[in-house]
Amino acid sequence: MAIQALNEQEIKTELARASLWKRDGQEIVRQFVFNGFMDSVGFVNRIAAEAEKADHHPDILIQYNKVTLRLSTHDCHGLSARDFSLAKVADELFTRC
């Protein structure tokens, strides 16, 4: 079954629910800030496990105590519900750090 891209109104609605995420073209992006490098890596390991379960993998940049996640759905060449679902998981993991 093909993954459906969200339309502009659906994207705006989802972004309103995920207010710490910003749109950058056909991606949503958020930077998470931690106390140090090991906390950053721990978060990346947890999000990697969740991404693998969801079979939806973000682009990840680690910069010492900062982790930037970029989400998009390559299969539909845009944003899908899968992106916002994984964004919510990342937000929940961050609040537990």
Q: Which domains does the chain have, with CATH numbers?
A: 21-95 (3.30.1360.20)
Give CA–CA dist 94/30, Å, rounded: 11
> Rounded CA gap, 79 and 82, in Å?
8
pLDDT tens digits along 12-67: 999 999 999 999 999 999 999 999 999 999 999 999 999 999 999 999 999 999 99
What is the C-alpha radius of gyration for the chain, rounded to an integer number of angstroms?
A: 13
Once rounded to an integer, what is the mean pLDDT over residues 72-77?
92
